[in-house]
Structure 1
Amino acid sequence: MMRFALLVAAGIALATPTLAGTPQRIVSAGGSTTEIVVALGARELLVGVDTTSLYPAAVTRLPNVGYVRQLSAEGLLSLRPDLVLTGSEAGPEAALDQARAAGVEIVTLSDGYTAKSVAAHIETVGRALGREAEAARLTEAFETDIATVEADIARVETKPRVLFILQTGRGASMVSGTGTAAHAMIALAGGENAIAEYGGYKPFSPEAATLAAPDVILMTDQTVDAIGGGDGVLPEAAFAATPAGRDGRLVTMDALYLAGFGPRLAHALHDLAVKLHPARAFTPLPEREWTKAQ
């Protein structure tokens, strides 16, 4: 911190835009935020990302500023950004305030797990980058795809009960209640969260999982990898007697794709709906530039 303070006191230009009014060095802290930047054709302007920025794969080779909730002002400013884009979860606020004090513009996206919030995020990032026309085109395609998926899901007659289980790092598994991205995705895909008694995440309880009687167990690919594979999930005592266990219904998806709420939301929603409602036919979505692995 002493080194950082001396740099600022000396008036060293840590964040001077290359072109007036148009950011040329961008740090993005938030997986969906980074996806939007790339979808707008501005990947070459990124000089750093956080650990949740995993798509497209090319961004993982950029300098990393750490976990989005544990950013440091010195880490941000070392990359000499003129713009830092963050999701609503970014912090701590003190680090962002220090970056602002050094002359860096900070743009924080609003919270929300809806298609409308994604469209608003695209507009916000487009305006910050001076790429309003690109943002308008992206939003139009995104909203077209969302409308297609929503129309199909509206015709679904039954809502399977879905239990979402998350493993983070080496800690205990957690089960999603209400108010999470997973909860929102389940509802948007025509399902019902099997846990509605509490909000947020709580440690996994085998007894509660059994009583929830899920029709489907939903996990991320990363969770399945962390527990050594999915073969042993449904035979567990907690699930064996549930509808999901009896019917062999374990659904897995990439974490950022499933719960990122970025420009790939329509495609993720389509893919989840297909897995939750295997007897239904869903309209295929066109491949978009931002849904291709890059």
Structure 2
Amino acid sequence: MTAGFPVRRHRIAHALQCVALASTLAFSAAASAEDAVVRDARGRDVTIGHPTRIVSIGGAVTEILYALGADDRIVAVDTTSLYPPKAMADKPNVGYMRQLSAEGVLGLNPQLVLAIAGSGPKETIDVIDAAKIPLIMVPDTFTEAGMVEKIRLVAKVAGVEAHGECLANAVAGDLAALRELRAKVKTPPRVMFVMSFLDGRTMVAGQKTAANEIIKLAGGVNVADSFDGYKIMSDEAIAAAKPDTVLSMERGKDTLQADTVFASPAFALTPAAKTRNLVAMDGLYLLGFGPRTAAAARDLAVKLDPALTADAASFKPASLAVNCRQ
């Protein structure tokens, strides 16, 4: 037995004890109301009542709850919940979605934990399950249909299904307009998404990633198409891929700079270096696959292909203007 095991066991026991009463109250409240059954990303049927204390994990989940007018029920968010900005400013923070503490979550006496798929770690999820607090993992599918279904699921859980249809219809309309814009692309730009660039090691996005799908939605082609997920790519492979544009996330003072990227042997001879074409966008906006994703894809499309500027100007995403809170 490792020395760390007794400590973990103690923490688990303490977490369960500190929420025993809250769990009982939440169960009683749910049992006295009209129950709803939701199938989540784990393939489980989760029974919920009318939760008024929700811990929201995942930027897209929090964004949807706010868009549906259910933000008054949120008792805490995670560090990826950056939009709207007041979510991070007004709500307690339970930490990064993949490094959650059971005590931090359960100590808030939630009636529901609504978390994007991939949240964890597993030990924390197991403790929350054992505490009998309803936990719903929201599917994080990087498709047009996945975005709409994500909205409908969150709306059902929050008991505001009419609001959810309002937002889902707005997003579906935006995606239809985006398809029309994408159809005007004559030569799909070749794009490489760089997740990290440090000490000569470049991590890029392959297939089955949010980055890959947003590139496609914007009318581009991901040149790192020989693998799935995020991987370190050699200088030779990067040069051979010949990206027209390097795409990355904004990270404040740590945002990638064109001078740094295009001075490296990996990128110096690429078409992107000749035009110094590096695009950095807000991470949640670009990769969150929430209500604003069609708008993000429109903005990216113009950055990848300026010839689309006039057509994109007439595309006014409804998701940015519609009021589905009432």
Task: Answer whether contact 1:113 1:184 (CA < 8 A) is retained.
Answer: yes
Query: Which residue of the partner structure matches residue 14 of structure 2?
Result: 3
* Deviations 1:5-29, CA, capped at 9 Å, x for gaps: 4335xx4224745784311111111
- The whole-number CA distance in structure 2 between the counterparts of 1:246 and 1:175 is 20
1:57, distance to aligned residue in structure 2 (A): 0.9
**1:50–1:65 Cα contact (<8 Å) kept:** yes
Which residue pairs with 1:207 in the alignment? 236
Deviation, structure 1 residue 289: 5.0
Q: Relative to 1, partners in 2 of residues 1:71 and 1:144: Cα closer, same or farther, differing over 3 Å?
A: same
Equivalent runs, 1:167-178 vs 2, <5 Å: 167=196, 173-178=202-207
Residue of structure 1 equivalent to 2:132: 103
Cα shift at 1:227 = 5.5
Identify the residue that residue 42 of structure 1 maps to in structure 2.
70
Farther-moved stretch of structure 1 (33-42 vs 172-181): 172-181
In the aligned structure 2, how far is the partner of 1:71 from the partner of 1:171?
Answer: 31
Q: Residue in 2 aligned with 1:93?
A: 122
CA distance in 2, matches of 1:254, 1:135: 25
CA distance in 1, matches of 2:217, 2:51: 35
| 1:192 equivalent in structure 2 | 221
State the Cα distance separating 1:69 from its structure 2 match: 1.6
User: Residue 236 and residue 25 in structure 1: after superposition, are their counterparts in 2 closer, same or farther (change >3 A)?
Assistant: same
| Cα gap change, 1:210 to 1:289, in 2 (>3 Å) | closer
Residues 174 and 319 in structure 2, CA contact (< 8 A), matched pair in contact too: no
Distance change in 2, residues 1:149/1:48 (3 Å)? same
Whole-angstrom distance in 1 between the partners of 2:162 and 2:306:
38
Match of 1:152 among 161, 181, 192: 181
Specify whether residues 286 and 197 from structure 1 end up closer, same or farther in structure 2 by C-alpha distance, changes over 3 A only: closer
Q: Pick which of 151-160 and 121-130 moved more.
A: 151-160
What 5-or-longer segments of structure 2 have no aligned partner? Answer: 1-10, 34-48
Give the superposition deviation at 1:144: 0.8
Q: TM-score, normalised by structure 1?
A: 0.90
Q: How far off its partner does 1:89 sit?
A: 0.9
What is the identity percentage for the equivalent residue pairs of Structure 1 and Structure 2?
42
Alignment RMSD: 2.5
Structure 1 Cα separation of the partners of residues 101 and 185 of structure 2: 46
Quickly say closer, same or farther: Cα 1:26–1:175, change in 2 above 3 A: same
Match of 2:195 among 166, 175, 179: 166
Q: Distance in 2 between matches of 1:136 and 1:193?
A: 32
| Alpha-carbon shift at residue 276 of structure 1 (Å) | 1.1
Amino acid at match of 2:248: M
- Contact (CA 8 Å) 1:234, 1:248: kept in 2 or not? yes
Following the alignment from structure 1 to structure 2, what is the Cα–Cα distance between the partners of residues 170 and 84?
39
Whole-angstrom distance in 2 between the partners of 1:23 and 1:169: 44
Is residue 58 from structure 1 mapped to residue 86 from structure 2 by the alignment?
yes
Name stretches of at least 5 consecutive residues in structure 1 with no aligned partner: none
One-letter code of the match for 1:142? V
Residue 262 of structure 1, CA deviation: 0.5
Q: 2:130 matched to 1:77? A: no
Residue pairs, 1:24-43, within 5 angstroms: 24-43=52-71
The aligned counterpart of 2:39 is none
Q: Aligned partner of 2:14: which letter? A: R
